[in-house]
Amino acid sequence: AQRIAILGAMPEEIQLLESQMTQARTKTIMGFQFKTGKLNGQEIVLSETGIGKVNAAMVTTLVLKEFQPKSVIFTGIAGGISQDLKQGDIVIGSRLTYHDYGDLTNEGLSTNPTRNPITKERNPLYFPSDSGLVSLAIKASKDVTLQKMSAEAAQPNISVGTIVTGDTFVTSSTAVGHFQKTLQADATEMEGAAVAQVCFQQHVPFLVIRCISDKANEKASVDFETFKKIASDNSATLVKEILKKL
């Protein structure tokens, strides 16, 4: 049976999954560590990509080449763009795009300037997550208990949305408004669309799960530090439930 690849950018984002893997073995390729083993009945390969699009694309490429996974799931945290989202909520990314590629002034992009270098075809503006994996994630969302960010906070929600990716940690209400208006963004992070582009071009199903750690506004840096651990674990908790249902 083929493995499921699970990727996260930072140590905190994969720590819960790593600590619960059994029969774990580590293989190092070009300095990146890939841990194979079992989790919730599935054979998986887990890796920490490092932050940003280039690292994410490198590790996605390496994991596809070396392990031929049947699908790739990215787990981690994000800045909330939609006003409906609070810290602790999860976004199941149904589609991903870049917020820092091409000319994004005025009304944003109508086409994706990236092309598949193999087929020369133009890539879609949004890379779609695998619809079967999105459905499974929605099912899984009904069977998980997520952590609240504080005793007074409301119970976290899980919704399906659009994730935008770029090589910047976003700390600006103006940028938030712009991403919302031009890209219909719900959340922003720094790896998802890069993973999505590699998988799309290689015809491998993928899914991105992100838990909101901050609102990508002027308070984002402080909130990120405060909430990154709980947000990372909430995202990993949903991924574990998805593995159970695969």
Query: Considering beta carbons, is residue 39 or 81 the nearer one to ligand ADE?
Result: 81
171 versus 201: smaller Cβ distance to ligand ADE: 171
- Given 12, 13, 89, 223, which residue is catalytic? 13
| Strands annotated E in the chain | 4-8, 22-29, 32-39, 42-48, 71-80, 90-98, 127-128, 158-165, 187-189, 206-214
103 catalytic, yes or no?
no
From the candidates 18, 130, 191, 214, which is the catalytic residue?
A: 214
Which of the 8 DSSP states describes residue 242?
H
Site string for ligand ADE, 75-94 (x = CB under 6 A): --xxx---------------
Closest approach, Cβ 51 to ligand ADE, in A, equals: 9
Min dist CB 172 to ligand ADE, Å, is: 9
13 is catalytic: yes
CA distance 5 to 211: 19
Q: Which stretch binds ligand ADE (CB under 6 A): 39-47, 108-116, 140-148, 184-192?
A: 184-192
Residue 232 lies near ligand ADE (rule: CB under 6 A): no
The pair of three-digit structure tokens given for residue 119, joined into one six-digit string: 């087929």
**Between 81 and 198, CB nearer to ligand ADE:** 81
Q: What is the DSSP letter of 115?
A: B
Nearest-approach distance from CB 55 to ligand ADE, in angstroms: 13
Distance of CA 158 to the CA centre of its chain: 14
Q: Which of 48, 89, 130, 189 binds ligand ADE (CB under 6 A)?
A: 189
CA triple 241-155-137, angle to 5 deg = 25
Residue 230 binds to ligand ADE (criterion: CB under 6 A): no
What dihedral angle (degrees, nearest 10) is formed by the CA atoms of 23, 40, 145, 89?
A: 80
Determine the distance from the C-alpha atom of residue 52 to the mean position of all C-alpha atoms in its chain, rounded to a whole number. Answer: 12
Kindly state whether residue 213 participates in binding ligand ADE, applying the rule CB under 6 A: yes
Q: What pairing do the DSSP bridges indicate for beta strands 42-48 and 71-80?
A: unpaired
- Is residue 190 close enough to count as binding ligand ADE by CB under 6 A? yes
Residue type, 51: I
Binding mask 137-176 for ligand ADE (x = CB under 6 A): --------------------------------xx------
Of 63, 216, 230, 236, which one interacts with ligand ADE (CB under 6 A)? 216
Interacting residues with ligand ADE between 100 and 129 (CB under 6 A):
none
Q: What are the contacts of 167-172 at 24+ separation with CB within 8 A?
A: 167/52, 167/53, 167/54, 167/100, 168/100, 169/79, 169/220, 169/221, 169/224, 170/79, 170/216, 170/220, 171/216, 171/217, 171/218, 171/220, 171/221, 172/216, 172/217, 172/218
The residues that touch ligand ADE, with contacts defined as CB under 6 A, are 77-79, 169-170, 188-190, 213-214, 216, 220, 224
Residue positions annotated with a catalytic role: 13, 214
